[in-house]
Amino acid sequence: MKVIVGLGNPGRGYEMTRHNIGFLVLDELVRRSGGAFRRNWWVPAQTANGVIGQEKVRLVKPQTFMNRSGLAVGSALRKAHGKTDDLLVIFDDVALGWGQLRIRAQGSAGGHNGVQSVMNVLGSGAFGRIRIGIGPKPDSVSLSNHVLGSFSEAETQNLENVVRRAADAVEQVCTAGIEQAMNCFNRG
């Protein structure tokens, strides 16, 4: 079973912020499958089970705050009897331009506190990841205000396309493998 995690912060105040783009991608995947997220009492997360292609998947939205995402991810992976190579994490990245995708089979945290938390709990960075560009912070804004800020009007106009494309990338990882998805989505 593949465990697919979208990183974000719980609570209504964070729903439409750049830091929660991982949650939005998982919402799109659940919408496509006709499933629903439920509070999981064994894992500090909302989870949904589904199938992508022939692959059974567990979709996970941690209900810890971003900096403690590893607690939920570690619990979810153990509950699914998974290994780190069964894990795919989706998250925002300020180093990429708005809407750009980068898929990797493993890597560093790249300064992302949520990913660092996952790596700390798992003791490894050997898990798949899909980074979604939210663009660099403007000079006049702190990093935390940028990532926790609402999408701009221009971003909102293209947000649905970005989320759909990222969900397509997740499906490609599950059906054709991460290398194929990298070849397809890491361009441009």
Active site residues: 19
Q: What is d(CA 116, CA 186) in angstroms, rounded to the nearest whole number?
A: 22
* Joined tokens for residue 49: 């089970």
Torsion-angle region of 15 (φ positive above 0: left; ψ -120 to 50: alpha; else: beta): alpha
* Joined tokens for residue 83: 């290994």
Which helix (H) or strand (E) element contains residue 181? Answer: helix 178-185
